[in-house]
Amino acid sequence: MSQRITVVEKILGANERLAETNRLALDQAGVFGLNLMASPGAGKTSLIEHTIRRLADRYQIAVVDGDVATSIDADRAAAAGAQAVQINTGGECHLDAVMLQEALAQLDLPSIDLLIVENVGNLICPANFQLGTHKSVLIASVPEGDDKPYKYPGMYQGVDALVINKIDLQPYIDFDMDYFRRGVEALNPGLVTFPLSCRTGQGLEDWLAWVGEWVERGR
Ligand code: MG
Ligand code: ZN
């Protein structure tokens, strides 16, 4: 039993050291790195597309897409105007620092201002694996339900910002925003939150301003 715990700690320890190496590579190249996490279907790729389209005239943007299979998401990011690298995890349900290191080797980092990592759609283990990015962002969405902070506390505790997507669907879904926000506040007091709709564009400006501010600081 204790042996197994030691092994798990070793894996996480090695991952964290490699994440530090990734962070150094990003810092030296003046790249601001974002790790986007969410359940499948919350709108990670849609938010990335909007972010690329709106910020591409100001910044060079690269996207690293993690999926169990296919290059659908990297294709969408490339079509929106970013350099894109697809990582197929081959069954793994999260990205780790080794995978990001391999992806970074395929990018011309000094030419990039903003790196967006789209993690594998999953509300559990991505929170446990540091990648070396500067900020972690969780995307929740109205159709997932207002109980998610209560059910997946680890994910809500570890992030630097929260996007609440698909707010245009609120009239059609029993989603109690106050109940949801109370759950978030208990886990991550004062968390920066961006309620928005990728479909209608409502609320996108605040999100884009936040991202732009961090990119500027990192240059
Ligand atoms: Mg996606
Ligand atoms: Zn996993």
Pairing of strands 135-141, 32-38: parallel
Query: Collapsing DSSP states into helix, strand and coil, what is residue 166?
Result: coil
In the 3-class helix/strand/coil scheme, how is 36-68 assigned residue by residue?
A: EEECCCCCHHHHHHHHHHHHCCCCCEEEEEEEC
CATH code of the domain containing 27: 3.40.50.300
Q: How far is CA 214 from CA 38, 91, 217, in A?
A: 21, 33, 5
Q: How many A from CA of 73 to the centre of ligand 1?
A: 5
Amino acid in position 5: I
Q: How many A from CA of 92 to the centre of ligand 2?
A: 6
What is the rounded CA–CA span in Å between residue 83 and residue 9?
A: 34
pLDDT in tens, the chain (219 residues): 567 777 777 777 899 999 999 999 999 999 999 999 999 999 999 999 999 999 999 999 999 999 999 999 999 999 999 999 999 998 899 999 999 999 999 999 999 999 999 999 999 999 999 999 999 999 999 999 999 999 999 999 999 999 999 999 999 999 999 999 999 999 999 999 999 999 999 999 999 999 999 999 987
Site of tokens 């991202």: 211
- Domain residues for the domain of 71 are 2-218
The count of domains in the chain is 1
Q: How many A from CA of 43 to the centre of ligand 1?
A: 7
Can you give the pTM of this predicted structure? 0.93
Indicate which ligand has the atom closest to the C-alpha of 139.
Answer: 1
Phi first, then psi, for residue 57 (nearest 5°) are: -80, -15
Cβ neighbours of residue 8 under 8 Å, at least 6 residues apart? Answer: none
Q: How many A from CA of 93 to the centre of ligand 2?
A: 4
